Structure 1
C-alpha cells in the first residue's frame, strides 16, 4: 500500500510541474504587462520598464518558471502587486471561505445525488418509472443550467431576505470559516445570519455535482442490478432493502466515488462564478480580482493552489478505490 501511494505521489510531480509551466506561459500570452497595468496609461515607458524589470518580467521563460517552482517549494509565492502583502498570507485568508462553501454544496449534493440516483435505478417498472424519467430530467437540467444564471435567479427570488442580512465583514475572523467563527462568537443571531449568507451560493454551486452524482449512481446501480449475485441474493430470500444497501449500492460505489472526488475538487477550484455572483470572499473572487488587475504573483499562486487541490483529490479517490474494491487490493498484494 505504501508503494502504491508513493507511485501516485511521484505521478503528481510532472502534473504540477506542467501546470506551473503553463501558468508562466499564459501570463505572457495576455496582451500588456504588469507594469502597464499598475503604472497606468499616464506612466512613462521608463517607469513601466523599471517595474517589469523589478519582477523579472524580461527574464527568459525557463528562469521565470524555475523561480516560481523554487519559491513554491519554499512556501514563497511572492508579493501581490496591488496590496504588497505575501500572496500566501492572502490565500490563507481566502481559501477557508471557499472550502466552507464547497463543503456546504457537497453536503447538499452528495446525499441528494445518491438518493435520486438510487430511486431512478430502482424505479424501472410502471408507474414507478415516472420517477426515473423525472430524476433524469432534473439531472439534465442541473447540468445544463449555468451556475451564474441560477445564482442570479436565486438572488432575484430571495432579494428581500438578502437585504436584511448583515455584511459578512462585520464578523471577526478567527479560523476563516464563517460558520465556525460565528459559533465561536456564541451569538445565535450571527450564526443564523452566516447560514443565510451561505445557503444561496451553496445551493447554486451544488446543482452540477448533484446532477452528475445522481446520473452516475443510476447508471452504476442499473449495471449491478443485472449481475448474477443480485439474482442469487433474491433467490435466497433476502429483502429488497438489504439487497440494495449491502450488495447493489456497495458494488456501485466505485465509479460513484470517482465522480464524487472529481466534483468535490471542481467545487473547490471552480467556484469562481458562484463566488463572483454572490460576492463570497473566497478563492474564486480572489482569482477574478487578480486577473482583472493583472496581479501576476496573486494569480499564479491561486492557480497553483487549485492545481494542488485537484491532484490531492485524485490521490484521495485512488486510495478510496483500494479501500472499496477488494479486487484492486488483491492486485496490489499480488505485485509484491
Structure 2
C-alpha cells in the first residue's frame, strides 16, 4: 500500500488591497467661486462701516441745516428747515433712514444749491474717473519698467538713483508738485495749459455734438476733430503726471523688491545654473510670480489716487468730485459730503474686489 504524502497547505493569498475610498470630487471651480463669493460679501460690511463712521462724525458737528445755513436764516426758518429734513428726529432713526435711502440709490439733496446728490455724483464723477485712470496709467508706465530696471541692476548707481527718486516722488505733497509742474511747463515754458479740462472752444465743439459722456477724451474723439483731441490731452498731462508720480514711486519700489525676491528663489537659481540668461530669467521666471503683490497693491492705491485727486483737482481746477467736494466743505454742506464719501467707499470696495478676482485667476494658491 502506497502511502501518500499529504500536500503542503497552500500559501495564504495576500489580502486584497482595500479599495481606496472614492473621493467625492468637487467641481474644479468651487474653490475659486467660494473665494470670490466671500470677497464679494465682504464688500457690504466694508461700505457699511465707512458710511456709518462718516455719518457719526458729521452728526457730531450738529445737524447739517444749522451747519450750512446758520446765521443766514431766522431761528424760525431754521427750525422749519430742520423739521422738514427730519433732523430733529432721534439719531438712530436718522441713521436707519439714511441707510435705507442709500440702498434705494438716494443720497439726499444738497443744502447749498438744492441739487440731488446723485446728480452731483453723475455730473462730476466722470471727471474724477477720467483723472484717476490717467493717473494710474502714468503710475504703471513709470513704476513697473523702472522697478524692473532697478531690480536687474541691483545696488548699482542707477538703482540707487531710482530708489531715491521714488522716495522723493512719494514724499512730495500733491499740491506742491502740481504747482511746481505748472510753474515750469505752463509759466516758464508755456507748452502746457495751466488749468481746466479743455479750452472754451473745445468745450463748445464737444457740447455741439450732443453726445456728452462727461469723459472729455471720449467726447473729443467723437467730434473727429484732431485739434480738440490734442487740446483735451494737453490739459490732462499735468494733472495726470502729478497724480501718477506719487503712486508710481510706490510701484517702483514694490516691483524692485518683489522681482529681487523672486530672482533669489531656488527654481530661478536652478534655471540660472542651467545657463539661462538673466534677461530670460527676469522675463520668463521672475516676473509673473512677482506680479501678484503688485496687482493687489493696485487696488489699494485706488484709494490713494482718489484722495490725491481732491488736491490735484483743486490745484488744476479740474472740476471733478474732488474739486466739488472742497466747495461743499467750504459751504459746510455735509449732506453732499456724506454722499460723495459714500460713493468713494463703494468705488474703493468694488475696485478691491476686481483686484482680488484678477489675483485669484493668476495665482491658484490664493483661492485656498
TM-score normalised by the chain length of structure 2: 0.83
1:95-174 aligned within 5 A: 95-124=125-154, 129-157=156-184, 158-159=186-187, 160=190, 161-162=192-193, 166-167=199-200, 170=204, 171-172=206-207, 174=212
Pick one of 20, 34, 41 that aligns with 1:3.
34
* Partner residue in 1 for 2:365: 327
1:287 and 1:302 in contact (8 A); partners too: yes
1:6-85 aligned within 5 A: 6-30=37-61, 33-85=63-115
Note if 1:281 corresponds to 2:319: yes
Q: What is the distance in 1 between the residues matched to 2:72 and 2:324?
A: 27
Note if 1:191 corresponds to 2:229: yes
DSSP 3-state at the match of 1:271? helix
1:36 and 1:48 in contact (8 A); partners too: yes
1:139-186 per-position Cα deviation (integer Å, ceiling 9, x unaligned): 000111000001111112213342697247544271110111011112
Q: What is the distance in 2 between the residues matched to 1:33 and 1:49?
A: 11
Q: What is the distance in 1 between the residues matched to 2:119 and 2:263?
A: 51
Structure 1 stretch displaced more, 77-86 or 261-270: 261-270
1:100 and 1:177 in contact (8 A); partners too: yes
Structure with a larger share of its residues in helix: 1
* Partner residue in 2 for 1:334: none
DSSP 3-state at the match of 1:15? helix
Note if 1:290 corresponds to 2:335: no
Unaligned runs of 5+ in 1: 332-336
1:77 and 1:86 in contact (8 A); partners too: yes
1:109 and 1:209 in contact (8 A); partners too: yes
Q: Do the aligned partners of residues 199 and 163 (structure 1) sit closer, same or farther apart at CA in structure 2, a change above 3 Å counting?
A: closer
Unaligned runs of 5+ in 2: 1-31
1:290-331 per-position Cα deviation (integer Å, ceiling 9, x unaligned): 2111223211111001111111122122222211223224x2
* Partner residue in 1 for 2:241: 203
Q: What is the distance in 1 between the residues matched to 2:93 and 2:273?
A: 68
Higher Rg: 2
Q: What is the distance in 2 between the residues matched to 1:304 and 1:154?
A: 32
Q: What is the distance in 2 between the residues matched to 1:101 and 1:163?
A: 16
**What is the total number of aligned residue pairs between the two structures?**
326
Q: Do the aligned partners of residues 163 and 234 (structure 1) sit closer, same or farther apart at CA in structure 2, a change above 3 Å counting?
A: closer
Structure 1 stretch displaced more, 194-203 or 57-66: 57-66
Q: What is the distance in 2 between the residues matched to 1:19 and 1:189?
A: 43
* Partner residue in 2 for 1:235: 273
Q: Do the aligned partners of residues 42 and 14 (structure 1) sit closer, same or farther apart at CA in structure 2, a change above 3 Å counting?
A: closer
1:204 and 1:274 in contact (8 A); partners too: yes
TM-score normalised by the chain length of structure 1: 0.91
Q: What is the distance in 2 between the residues matched to 1:4 and 1:114?
A: 28
Q: What is the distance in 2 between the residues matched to 1:97 and 1:234?
A: 48
1:34 and 1:295 in contact (8 A); partners too: yes
How many angstroms does 1:247 deviate by? 0.9
How many angstroms does 1:37 deviate by? 4.8
Q: What is the distance in 1 between the residues matched to 2:131 and 2:69?
A: 36
1:192-241 per-position Cα deviation (integer Å, ceiling 9, x unaligned): 11111111110100111100000011111111111111111112232322
